[in-house]
Amino acid sequence: MKKLVPVLLLLLAMFPALAQLKSETFITRYGNLDNTWYQISARKQATVAFLGGSITNMEGWRGKVGDYLARTYPATVFSLLNAGIPSLGSLPHAFRLQQDVLDKGRVDLLFVEAAVNDKVNSTPAAVQRRALEGIIRHALIANPHMNIVLMAFVDEDKMADYRAGKVPAEVALHEEMARRYQLPFVDLAKEVTTRIDAGEFSWKNDFKDLHPSPFGQEIYFNTIRQLLDSAFNRPAPRKVVAAKIPAVTDPFNYANGQYVDVHTANHLQDFVVDESWKPSDKVHTRPGFVEVPMLVSGTTAASFELPFTGRTVGVALLSGPDAGVIRYSIDGKPEQQIDTRTQWSRSLYLPWYLVLGDGLTTGPHTLKITTVSGSVCRIVHFLVNQ
């Protein structure tokens, strides 16, 4: 009995703190989900899209959310769109939103996740802002009745920031945009850190990794379910209400971001379009970035030009084992260069998105890209924001 007393005292001391760790604590409702609730309750039909990276694409919270909706509202027909692609963050999302989400049909509820890959990929802060704001504005302009949920998932860097008394930069941006555009925001990075520090579970043995274990996926799902339960636990609205879109925070945001076909390149010198590229080695690829048209260089110095109209231009290329430096110029200005290799290039044809020109004047421009002899450049899409 004496041995049990310290344990009981410890548990009693912990219970008040643990009782405060409700999922609702990590949800900030800058906006509601009333339009989605109308679609579910009145129209009995709703489309839910999930835009994110590998944590969205993998089996886990996304599938649980779909199962929860179908189980809880059996009279409603749900269409679920998985637009999660591993390794991709806000910059890729901004330029693929049209093709991968909006072109699929009307979306009623959009979950957006980018904070982990924005950190991992070292996406510049200004690009993150332009991309995330662009995603939101593009989606709401396309469908003002769409509800959007912003989420920040956890990684060890974010945990270190919170423990140092700082809000991680990616999380702060997500929350700022949620506040400005009146969207619900779910800070799962803070929740996991807080629960671990309260002794509920451990990172190493329970949550495991930034790609959560089944246990970790359940943590994510439980909080998202809390968001949905609270949002839908009220009388259904009588109609949908269009979003009021505020003034931009950055005039060069990527709200008009889109893919441009690689066939539009001209003046090809040792570049060809492979209509269904696939690797000749056993190096891994990503879904959507294999067996598709690709502008591919030879191994000698190669070049092409791209005429475009817009204020931003870039490329989505594959950074594989033979990637290297490219040189580029816009409108005949002095060349710049960038190394397209990444820390993952030796083992993966990684989709790698690069902004080559930003804040350009409105109107027509020409991008010229030249490769360095000995490396190969594979471009899947051009990125243009008008």
Tokens standing for residue 309: 């109209």
Task: For residue 323, give the nearest of 294, 299, 306, 304 by alpha carbon.
Answer: 299
**Which pTM was predicted?**
0.93
The Cα-based distances of 29 to 26, 186, 231, 249 in angstroms read 10, 9, 9, 21
Task: Average the pLDDT over each of 3-17, 34-48, 131-145, 148-162 and give the range with the smallest value.
Answer: 3-17
CA 259 to chain centre: 16
* pLDDT band, very low/low/confident/very high, at 373 (cuts 50, 70, 90): very high
**Crossing angle (nearest 10°) for helices 61-72 and 214-232:** 40
- pLDDT digits 0-9 by tens, 262-287: 999 999 999 999 999 999 999 999 99
10 has pLDDT over 90:
no
Average pLDDT in the 158-182 region? 98
Q: What is the mean pLDDT of the chain?
A: 94
6 has pLDDT over 60:
no
What does the alpha-carbon distance between residue 132 and residue 177 come to, in Å, rounded to a whole number?
A: 8
Cβ neighbours of residue 362 closer than 8 Å, sequence gap 6 or more? 310, 311, 386
* pLDDT band, very low/low/confident/very high, at 356 (cuts 50, 70, 90): very high
- pLDDT digits 0-9 by tens, 210-233: 999 999 999 999 999 999 999 999
Residue 40 is given by DSSP the state: I
4 has pLDDT over 80:
no
**Crossing angle (nearest 10°) for helices 188-197 and 214-232:** 120
Cβ neighbours of residue 203 closer than 8 Å, sequence gap 6 or more? 156, 159, 192, 196
Q: In this predicted structure, what is the pLDDT of residue 21? A: 74
Average pLDDT in the 159-187 region? 98
CA 55 to chain centre: 10
316 has pLDDT over 80:
yes
What does the alpha-carbon distance between residue 97 and residue 107 come to, in Å, rounded to a whole number?
A: 12
2 has pLDDT over 50:
no
Residue 221 is given by DSSP the state: H
Are 132 and 90 in contact, with CB atoms under 8 Å apart? yes
Task: For residue 378, give the nearest of 231, 278, 258, 253 by alpha carbon.
Answer: 278
- pLDDT digits 0-9 by tens, 182-200: 999 999 999 999 999 999 9
CB atoms within 10 A of CB 249: 14
Q: In this predicted structure, what is the pLDDT of residue 8? A: 39
13 has pLDDT over 60:
no
* pLDDT band, very low/low/confident/very high, at 40 (cuts 50, 70, 90): very high
Cβ neighbours of residue 257 closer than 8 Å, sequence gap 6 or more? 94, 95, 97, 98, 131, 134, 138, 312, 383, 384, 385
Task: For residue 254, give the nearest of 314, 307, 168, 294 by alpha carbon.
Answer: 314
